Amino acid sequence: MTAEIPITITTGDDTVSGIYARPESPFATIVVAHGAGAGMDHPFLSGFTKALNDAGAATLRFNFPYREVGKKFPDRPPKAIATWRSVMEEAAARSEGEPLWASGKSFGGRIASMAVAEGMAAAGLIYLGYPLHPPGKPEKIRDEHLYGLTLPMLFLQGTRDTLATTDTLEPVVAGIGTTATLRWFEGGDHSFNVVGNKRPAEEVGASLAGPVVEFIRAYR
């Protein structure tokens, strides 16, 4: 088992916590951000990153500033984007030249894509449930910045995800072009839970590591 190392990252006037894990000779480092309603210690994310470590990837998962101080509402995009930049710089400083990928659950993944659209360097983007629109507002599609991105992108999405249905997300991914790949998880909701197949959140997160590793290795 790869050791997890607690770290602290400075971002502007804030400091945030992170957990770094590096197996021997990793094929990539995958930076992982949490969703709006849970921090980096959520079992879904710990299960996901541990499975990535077992597959040979280094990981760095982190908290956004609002989670660090116990607030419920996410940071505004400028602060969240700045945090992503700082964390990617930290990951780069700890790397040995392997590709650095940005990944996130829901809010964390969307902010990663906005950071890349504003110039943050990354080998690719992994979305663990992309929130295409706010809850209950399917008319407010949040996709404008995605069409200018040319790096590899993998969308992992449950077919019961109310924040990105098949008829709304599929045209978006097709519009991005051949660098974007969409993989549906039958029966999964926004947290990839399936009715009638209750699993611990850690196991659910771990189950997403395989498709992610396969996708990243295809670009090496």
Residue 192 makes CB contacts below 8 A (sequence gap 6+) with: 44, 128, 129, 156, 158, 185, 204, 205, 207, 208
Indicate the pLDDT class of residue 62, thresholds 50, 70 and 90.
Answer: very high
Mean pLDDT, the chain, whole residue set: 95
pLDDT of residue 217 exceeding 80: yes
Indicate the pLDDT class of residue 88, thresholds 50, 70 and 90.
Answer: very high
| Rounded Cα gap, residues 193 and 144, in angstroms | 28
Indicate the pLDDT class of residue 48, thresholds 50, 70 and 90.
Answer: very high
Single-letter amino acid, residue 24: E
Indicate the pLDDT class of residue 134, thresholds 50, 70 and 90.
Answer: confident
Residue 112 makes CB contacts below 8 A (sequence gap 6+) with: 33, 84, 102, 103, 104, 120, 122, 125
Q: 3-state DSSP call for residue 168?
A: helix
Enumerate the domain spans of the chain: 4-217
**What's the pLDDT at 58?**
98
Region 45-52: what's the mean pLDDT?
98
The topology under which CATH files domain 4-217 is Rossmann fold (3.40.50)
pLDDT of residue 220 exceeding 80: no
